[in-house]
Structure 1
Amino acid sequence: MPRNFFNSARISEEHLAIALSQVALGFWEMDLNTKIIECTTQNRINLGLSMDEPITEQRIIEAILPEDRWRRESEIKNAMHPDSPTYNFEIRVRHADQKVHWLHVRGTVIFENLLPVRIIGTTIDVSKKKEIETLRDELLNITTHELKSPLSIVKGYLQLLYKFISEIGDNKHQLITERAISANAKIERLIEEIIPANQHIKSELILKKEPVDLHQLIKEVISNANLVHEEIEINFTCLTGTYIVSGDKYRISQVLTNLVNNAIKYSPGESTIDIELSGDASGIRVSIIDNGIGIAEQQREKVFQKFYRIANTSHLVEGSGIGLYLCAEIIAHHRGRIGMLSNPAGKGTIAFFELPFN
């Protein structure tokens, strides 16, 4: 063995420790049978735990802000399946000095004979990144206020136009005007809800739940999309006899509209979009299938991050990188799941979301 082997190994470990400290990256591992947790010093720092206290799963949960604990529970629960063993989410923790820190948590469940035996993961402090996002949100808040005045004028003219068309009995244009007024109302609601002055955290999004007929809602979204994109054929297939869920109809419509518009935007030259509604005993799944440019596997998870844009497409498609992030937040608040898959047909993407019955 070379004389300088141990010195080289020691120097490498020191360099690694310094690098991990600089990026605030911590590692941890839990044995699911014994519940014993081992972690690095940086992981304790990220969670706001002291160096001498025993680290347990309950202590980690207590470090997380109460309103964010469900996100950890939901993500790890979903990862307890061999087909989807990874998790990825953001939470807030409160340190001993009462300061709140944002953590980006990633990890994998390890299986033996199809049974989960260990969880390994990382935490990274992304508080500085969140501060930058807050500045962006504040700028967006100012912009939305500036939009209110001209939008109210548009609303007034649309109402006058609707009244005039109703009086002359032109049913076709009356329907078009009704949909324009409805779209205007949706924009008004969006402006009211986009980053209020006293909050910028989307995890506080409030749902107005009611029974939602997904079959009818999909047909409405298709009808609205056809008004704007007459050249696109949108096919709808229903593969289940049960399609009523409890949720916020407006928010679910927002997700559907965004995914359909994305499928159209990222399918230049294609003329067909397919939507499938399926289900089983646990819930409903909606799939939007396109034959477009597709998304690389390593980017499918990132597209749901705020402000993320798909590499090499920004010159083809305009966007802010916030639409899919909002979709993910809405589905998460419904205790559902959202994701992207490659189209088995050979090109394109399948965007899907799942909603539980209960």
Structure 2
Amino acid sequence: MSTGSQQAHALAEQLERDRQVIIARWVERMRRRHVDRQTLPTLETLPTLELIDSLPEFLVRVAEALRQGLPQDELDAEVTQPTVEVAREHGIHRYRHGFDVRAVVDEYAILIDVLLDYLAEKEHRIESSELRSILRVVSVGVAAAVDQFSAERDAAEQASHAELLQAREYERQLIGVVSHDLRNPLAIILNCVTILMRSPGLSELAMRSLQRLRNNAERAVRLIGDLLDFTQERSLGRMPVRPADCDMQQLIREAIEEAALTHPGRTIEQSGEMGAIPGHWDRDRVAQVLTNLLDNALKFSPLDSRVSVDVDVDEEQVTVAVHNWGNPIPPERLGSVFEAFQRADPTAPSRGSLGLGLHISREIARSHGGGLDADSAADRGTTLTLTLPRRPRGASNAS
């Protein structure tokens, strides 16, 4: 093992004597860098001892490199290995305290600036071999710190991804099992209610009670359906659809008739295109969207107001706009009404809703290559607009 010059030994001893001064200046510059650039909020609350971390030990490695000299531009293993170990621990520390890679690199760059300013202040004429020793140990340190930082980040991302997949699988299985186990007893309840309602001689009170029981059982079935749809969409990353030739006009009329039955006394008007609208869509899924849009419009509008359905068609696409005169959706919530478990008016009674209807409807539209948009204001009411290509290209078909 070779040794450095007498001057290098003297410089190493001087750095060790003034190590606390160097550390204090480095801390000051690090905090000032944050104030100037506001790039690392962690520094505002990180205690000084945590910020310093392994810097004292790292400066020992710099001094040792100066004592050894730099044979053939390489550090001796007795310096390199301890430097790598110190820097790796530092990389772990910085990752766990929320630093980014750029901040880790900046730390070492600031340390070089502090050392060079310190030497200039001491009027030390630094030799090229001494400078190379300092730069070499710093380069070894920053490389090891960044490598370890990156390894910690990659490991955390992999663990997080694995946990997310596990959580989603558990969620899918849980909702699937619960929904399946609930569907059977609900189906039995609905069948029994239907049979009882056909019984002669029922009193008005008994009929109302059975009707209420059926309405609530049907609502529970719809909620279970929404949960299963949401689980499937989360699992596949899309809502599976099976497009086939069908008539949109027929789907719209059936949806309006169904809505009129479930909301007696309400007025639903249709305008625009009234003739046949042939296209290529998943009949059941599109019917689900239309039912959701009408149900939403009827639930959130006054009983004496009308709901309108305007249909516009061209060669490429069909647009169905469902309008109501209910309270407008607040502007700050307009962008989130299609998110899962969100409702346009969170203060209103849920009325058997999980806040999944519009989210599922939008995903069905997207799987057809279309979209679902919302517009709402006090002076023009609320309009939900479904747009679907008549012959979707690249539709997300179920396998």
> Structure 2 length as normaliser, TM-score?
0.49
Partner of 1:356: 389
2:307 to 273, 296, 321: 273
Distance change >3 Å, CA 208–CA 351, structure 1 → 2:
same
Answering whether residue 327 of structure 2 is matched by residue 293 of structure 1, we say yes
Q: Is the 8 Å Cα contact of residues 247 and 278 (structure 2) preserved in structure 1? A: yes
Give the Å deviation of 1:292.
0.3
In structure 1, how many angstroms separate the alpha carbons of the residues matched to 2:328 and 2:230? 35
Q: Which residue of 2 aligns with 1:14?
A: 40
Task: Provide the residue aligned with 2:372 in structure 1.
Answer: 338
CA displacement at 1:13 relative to structure 2:
2.4
Q: Is the 8 A contact 1:203 1:329 kept in 2?
A: no
Q: How does 1:189-208 map to 2 (within 5 A)?
A: 191=225, 194=228, 200-201=234-235, 203-208=237-242
Q: What does the per-residue CA deviation read over 1:65-107, in whole Å, with 9 as the maximum and x for residues that have no partner?
A: xxxxxxxxxxxxxxxxxxxxxxxxxxxxxx89995988xxxxx
Q: Matched residues in 2 for 1:308 and 1:278: separation?
A: 29
RMSD of Structure 2 on Structure 1 (CA): 4.7
SS in 2 for 1:302: coil
In structure 1, how many angstroms separate the alpha carbons of the residues matched to 2:271 and 2:286? 18
AA in 2 matched with 1:306: A
User: Offset of 1:313 from its aligned partner?
Assistant: 2.7
Choose between structure 1 and 2: higher helix proportion: 2
Give how far 1:15 is off.
2.2
CA distance, structure 2, for counterparts of residue 213 and residue 334 of structure 1: 15
Q: Does 1:140 align with 2:175?
A: yes
Hey, what's the Cα distance between the residues in 2 that align with 1:188 and 1:314? 19
Counterparts of 1:190 and 1:157 in 2: how far apart (Å)? 20
Identity %: 23
After superposition, what is the alpha-carbon deviation per residue over 1:263-300, rounded to whole angstroms, capped at 9, x for unaligned? 11111344310001102232000000000012123322
Indicate the residue corresponding to 2:339 in structure 1. Answer: 305
- Pick aligned residue for 2:270 from 224, 231, 236: 236
Distance 2:260 2:232 in 1: 38
Distance 2:329 2:195 in 1: 45
Residue deviations 1:131-162 (CA, integer Å, cap 9, x gap): 77766555433431232222332464488689
Q: Aligned partners of 1:239, 1:348: CA distance in 2, in Å? A: 22
Q: 1:220 aligns with which of 254, 263, 267?
A: 254
1:261 is aligned to 2:295: yes
Alpha carbons 1:214, 1:243 under 8 Å: kept: yes
- Give the direction of change, closer, same or farther, for the CA distance of 1:235–1:227 in structure 2 (3 Å limit): same
Q: Secondary structure at the match of 1:286?
A: strand
SS in 2 for 1:217: helix
- The alpha carbon displacement at 1:240 in A equals 6.7
What one-letter code is carried by the residue in structure 2 that aligns with 1:10? Answer: D
Structure 2 unmatched ranges of 5 or more:
1-28, 46-94, 101-145, 148-153, 201-213, 392-399
CA contact (8 A) 2:365 2:371 kept: yes
1:150 and 2:185 are equivalent in the alignment: yes
How far off is 1:209 after superposition? 1.6
Per-residue deviation at 1:203?
2.8
Instruction: Output the CA distance in 2 between the equivalents of 1:253 and 1:191.
Output: 14
> 2-side partners of 1:15 and 1:98: how far apart?
22
C-alpha deviation, 1:315, in angstroms? 4.2
Distance 1:196 1:342, change over 3 A: closer
Question: Is the 8 Å Cα contact of residues 172 and 235 (structure 2) preserved in structure 1?
Answer: no
Q: Which SS does the other structure have where 1:201 is aligned?
A: helix
Cα separation, 1, equivalents of 2:41 and 2:156: 29
Partners of 1:196 and 1:308 in 2: CA distance: 13
Tell me which amino acid in the other structure corresponds to 2:41. H
> Is the alpha carbon distance of 1:188 and 1:354 closer, same or farther for their aligned partners in structure 2, counting shifts above 3 Å?
closer
State the aligned residue count: 245
- C-alpha deviations, 1:192-240, integer Å up to 9, x for none? 9816999852535322221121111111111111111112100011337
Give the unaligned 5+ runs of structure 1. Answer: 26-50, 53-94, 103-126, 166-179
Paired residues of 2:376 and 2:382 also in contact (CA < 8 A) = yes
- Among 235, 240, 248, the alignment partner of 2:282 is 248
SS of the aligned residue for 2:315 comes to coil
Which has more radius of gyration? 2
